[in-house]
Amino acid sequence: MSSIKMGKAIQTSPVFEKKTIIGQRVTKPDAPDKASGRTVYINDMVLPRMLFGKILHCDRVHAKIISIDTSAAKALAGVHAVLTGYDIPELKFGPTRDNRTLKAGKVRCIRDEVAAVAAESEQIAAEAIGLIKVEYEDLPPVFSPTEALKQGAPVVHEDHPDNRSLSYEFSHGDVAAAEVNSDIVIEHEFEVPYVTHCCMGPGCVIADFETNGKLTMYSQTQYPYNYKMDLAPAVGIHPGDIRVIQPPVGGAFGSKLDVYPFEPICALLSKAVGRPVKLTFSREEEFINSPTRQPAEFKIRSGVNKDGTLTFRSVDCLMNNGAYTSWGPTTPVIQMRTFTGHFRVPVVEYKGLAAYTNSVYAGSFRGYGNVQATFVTASVMDMLAEAVGMDPIAFRLKNAQKPGEVTPQGSKLDDCKLRECIEIAAEKTDFLKKYKLYAQDRVNAGRIKHGIGIATSIHNAGGAKIHKSDGCGSILKLDDYARATLITGASEIGQGIDAVLSQIVMEELGIPMSDITIVNNDTALGPWDVGVHASRTTFVTGNSALRAAKAARKQILRAAARQSNVSAEQMDLREGHVVQADNGVSIIKLDKLLRQMHFAEEPELVMVSEYYEPDSELEDKNHVGNLSATWAHGAYVAEVEVDTETGEVKVVKMTAVQDVGRVINRLGIEGQMEGGISVSLGYALSEQLQIKDGKVLNPNFRDYKVPTAPETPEIELHFVESDCKASPLGCKGIAELPAIIPAPAIANAVYNAIGVRFFAPPLTPEKVARALHDQVPDNTQ
């Protein structure tokens, strides 16, 4: 042991063992403030001189605007501005540029914004809205995509006379021939509903147009850098003149992955009044105006040979585009990957089409199209297994891909863990024994029937290259006290990235979590990132932070090596010290070293910047390319009880097995998976935004039923750690699969329990009771 002389005493250098924070359970740094009510959410924020905005949404679904009278609203004391679509230039925005902020000419759905007010208080703004008189002339509406595509249907956008919005086509192999050569072919239709995100923090934005023409947006956005680009055309300024600040938000789940009209409207109000303006949705406005998950109708034909080999899969997807295009109708990009690439299907075909209607429109929502695709494919896999007389496990194992296979669309399954996931799920749940027992019990009398069901899926787990860049930048600096600040493009919307990034910095630099600050809420500071979506944040921004941390580590160790007889390679950073890697003996305290570097003759600061771009490809025009740097699978098993009289389905247990690459924050991954399962539970059993004739019938938590704690099942999680080669960190993106797979596992379990197949979630008690009633004469009659 080395020792140094200090005064009279001889002090031994401290020794530090090698410890790792990766894979441990780490509390999110923002959790204590959130739990104790200290966090200032965007909804709580007040800026000096701030006014309050409010929007008049139309009460029609398709109508000409004849006149708008704002005189009474303008005359109301406390009102500073009243805007209509006739006061501003026609500025189109949205992914296909078919939306505008305040509408003029006509309105196309119940969400349409016809006027906006900025006033001294929310009450005055609301009163002013009530004073605006709009005269409409109703036009014939169209609500169903099938109707909308018919000749002579009402036209939603005059420049799209056939009501066709986005469309997709992919094919691989000869479907007609495959069909002829298949032993069994089945065809089914599915329909998936409108569901909504239910963020605890309703829509909110504060816009501050400064006198220099620059705009600061305090926004809930989950993609701040692209947001500037998408917002600019709606406001009519240069993207470079927009600064986005992201205060803490109450959830996003994909709902903040686009610009919605209220945001540029708020900016235009701020411009009109020269003051900051805040606009907040009530819960009812939130239910009506925030984007939904994309509803769709599917027609699927699949073939199988008697030995259980899948032969082909052909899918037609018809989407209700609603009145405008947000990200909902673009979700086929991800959905298609599951239809064409989940299990080894030699011949595949996918067609997707979105039709404009006078209904509300969909955006992105955790799972991005794969929720719908997985409900369909996982149900059909069970039907095919039954058709060939195989059990659901053997049938899936027979068709599961092996590592190294490439799907028809070019998804490279280098470290495919599908088989492991299925095998572990079956073993941990004693699947086959229960499955057979429950199926036999169906014919017996008894009010409660038990069922078990499995579902699997695949999802992009190394980002998704839907923009030219899918990368993220990181700037890392250390101060004289060995406190680190990571300035990152990663957005924190509650998913826990701050904890993960802190762990990565801690692991490399050996400083405690409490000495690490993450700065990630201001586009003026942070380097580029593509936002929180596609399960990409830990994978992309984590690997970016890892590069920065490694670069800083290298600089530190190089400096330490200069003044010691130990080489940089033989050193490590542990608990605030530079140590000898082999025995952990401290060479120098890190803060002391940093000060020495700073105050040296040739001074240097530890201050690095790195950029990480995952190794993925943009799709070509035929939808081929390895869209994600890596892919992950999961297998989930649901165990249910069905009350055959009331139709109530109770999920007793959910066992989730997922390829996660490598666990970074164990607590975080558990939270993500449990939360995702809850979202999917709602999709399976209770959630549906009921829309009739274009109007939302249940815009409240009383009648829009999100699962609550009592109906949350016991959850058992198993992580398959593949140590992903495509990821320097070894991790994969994990956050969407838990929201994707459980619903069809539940539907399959219900089938196992009662022998009824459901083609349209949610499986409400009424739907289940009705199906059972229609199947057998009601024994209560």
Q: Give the footprint of another protein on this chain (CB under 8 A).
A: 123, 126-127, 130, 282, 284, 645-646, 648, 685-686, 690, 697-698, 700, 702-703, 705, 707-711, 764-766, 769-770, 773, 778, 780-781
Q: Which residues of 498-520 are buried (b: 16+ CB within 10 A; e: fewer)?
A: bbbbbbbbbbbbbbeeebbbbeb
Residue closer to another protein, measured from CB, 540 or 689: 689
| One-letter-per-residue 3-state SS of 622-663 | CCCCCCCCCEEEEEEEEEEEEECCCCCEEEEEEEEEEECCCC
For the CB of residue 284, give the shortest distance to another protein in the complex, in Å: 7
Residue spans of beta strands (DSSP E) within 305-447: 310-322, 347-356, 405-406, 412-413
The token duo for 155 is 């036209």
Residue closer to another protein, measured from CB, 444 or 780: 780
Residue closer to another protein, measured from CB, 534 or 640: 640
Residue closer to another protein, measured from CB, 137 or 778: 778
Q: Which residues of 369-408 are buried (b: 16+ CB within 10 A; e: fewer)?
A: bbbbbbbbbbbbbbbbbbbbebbbbebbbbbbbeeeeebb
The token duo for 112 is 């349409």
For the CB of residue 707, give the shortest distance to another protein in the complex, in Å: 7
Residue closer to another protein, measured from CB, 104 or 126: 126
The token duo for 620 is 């070509």
Query: What residues form DSSP beta bridges with 649?
Result: 642
Residue closer to another protein, measured from CB, 495 or 688: 688
For the CB of residue 667, give the shortest distance to another protein in the complex, in Å: 26
With 0-12 / 13-18 / 19 or more C-beta atoms within 10 angstroms meaning exposed / middle / buried, residue 732 is buried
For the CB of residue 569, give the shortest distance to another protein in the complex, in Å: 59
C-alpha to C-alpha distance for 248 and 34, rounded to whole angstroms = 10
Residue closer to another protein, measured from CB, 57 or 633: 57
C-alpha to C-alpha distance for 422 and 399, rounded to whole angstroms = 11
Query: Among all chains, which residue has been given the structure tokens 């200032």?
Result: 40
Residue closer to another protein, measured from CB, 20 or 780: 780
Residue closer to another protein, measured from CB, 129 or 518: 129
Chain centre distance of CA 322: 21
C-alpha to C-alpha distance for 731 and 463, rounded to whole angstroms = 12
C-alpha to C-alpha distance for 681 and 689, rounded to whole angstroms = 15
362 within 8 A of 291, measured Cβ to Cβ:
yes
For the CB of residue 691, give the shortest distance to another protein in the complex, in Å: 11
For the CB of residue 699, give the shortest distance to another protein in the complex, in Å: 9
209 within 8 A of 270, measured Cβ to Cβ:
yes
Residue spans of beta strands (DSSP E) within 305-440: 310-322, 347-356, 405-406, 412-413
For the CB of residue 444, give the shortest distance to another protein in the complex, in Å: 19
For the CB of residue 771, give the shortest distance to another protein in the complex, in Å: 12
Residue 79's φ and ψ, nearest 5 degrees, are -90, 130
For the CB of residue 419, give the shortest distance to another protein in the complex, in Å: 36
> Half-sphere exposure of residue 354, counting CA atoms within 13 Å on the CB side?
28
For the CB of residue 434, give the shortest distance to another protein in the complex, in Å: 24
For the CB of residue 40, give the shortest distance to another protein in the complex, in Å: 24
363 within 8 A of 255, measured Cβ to Cβ:
yes
For the CB of residue 765, give the shortest distance to another protein in the complex, in Å: 5
DSSP 545-587: HHHHHHHHHHHHHHHHHHTSSS-GGGEEEETTEEEETTT-BEE
At 48 the three-state DSSP class reads coil
Residue closer to another protein, measured from CB, 370 or 688: 688
Residue closer to another protein, measured from CB, 282 or 564: 282
For the CB of residue 766, give the shortest distance to another protein in the complex, in Å: 4
For the CB of residue 701, give the shortest distance to another protein in the complex, in Å: 8
The token duo for 81 is 């501005």
Maximum C-alpha span of the chain: 99
Crossing angle of helices 262-273 and 224-235, in 10° steps, is 60
